[in-house]
Amino acid sequence: MADPDVPGQHYDYFGFNTYRVENGKIAERWSNEHRYARPQFLPQAAFGKHPTQPQLVGETDLEKNKQLVSDFYDQVFGTLSPDRVKDFVAQDYLQHSSHMPQGLAGLEAYVSELAAQAPELPEGAAPGSPPAPAVLHAEGDIVVIAAQLPQPLHDEPTGSWNYFAYDAYRVRDGKLAEHWSGIDKHARPTHP
């Protein structure tokens, strides 16, 4: 997609959809598409060979992989603890979303930045947990997780609509080795 901050540049946007199938028909759909900022795709000619295709390279214990991703969210983003990143993330962590920081050190810096921006907790209060996943699915060495983040309606001050923030991870040797973010740089969700 065209980068809103750097004219003439583009960034990777990964669209995610989850479907519930009943009686051989699609019954429900969850998407990371933003209600008020639809994706602005570049013409296909703007893309070269794209190196981000998933391929099986790591651990295939599906329940173990899902637990790793779930624990990562709870213990890193739930507490905003950059020092815990190394417990979950491989040293050569590959970030496929070009608008997010690269590598283990980049992710630690990103979590530090989030922690610095977070409002102070009342004295004696413990940090909260991130929202429980609305989607947590593993296939091969890939885990997809999504949180449901209600977003405010523009035309109804007390109303909201459901937004799903997706992330996909490749697990290798018990660590998160690659990441694809479903957050659109044009339309970052607000957090409750």
Residue 150 lies in a domain: yes
Residue 8 lies in a domain: no
Output the pLDDT for position 123: 78
Cα 8 from Cα 89, distance rounded (Å): 33
In single-letter form, the type of residue at position 184 comes to D
Residue 157 lies in a domain: yes
Residue 187 lies in a domain: no
Contact between 137 and 144 under an 8 Å Cβ cutoff? The reply is: yes
The pLDDT tens digits of the residues spanning 144-186 come to: 998 887 878 878 888 887 778 888 999 999 999 999 887 665 5
189 has a pLDDT exceeding 80: no
Three state DSSP letters for 106-141: HHHHHHHHHHHHCCCCCCCCCCCCCCCEEEEEEECC
Residue 110's domain comprises 17-44+57-118+127-181
The pLDDT tens digits of the residues spanning 139-151 come to: 888 999 988 878 7
Output the pLDDT for position 26: 78
Model confidence at 100, pLDDT cuts 50, 70, 90, reads: confident
Number of structural domains in the chain: 1
Model confidence at 119, pLDDT cuts 50, 70, 90, reads: confident
Output the pLDDT for position 184: 63
Cα 53 from Cα 51, distance rounded (Å): 6
Average pLDDT, the chain: 79
Model confidence at 50, pLDDT cuts 50, 70, 90, reads: very low
CATH number, domain at 132? 3.10.450.50
In single-letter form, the type of residue at position 19 comes to Y
Residue 175 lies in a domain: yes
Cα angle for residues 157, 40, 148 (degrees, 5° grid): 45
Sign of the alpha-carbon torsion through 3, 15, 103, 70: positive
E-strand stretches of 140-182: 142-152, 160-172, 175-181
The pLDDT tens digits of the residues spanning 53-88 come to: 555 566 578 999 999 999 999 999 888 999 999 999
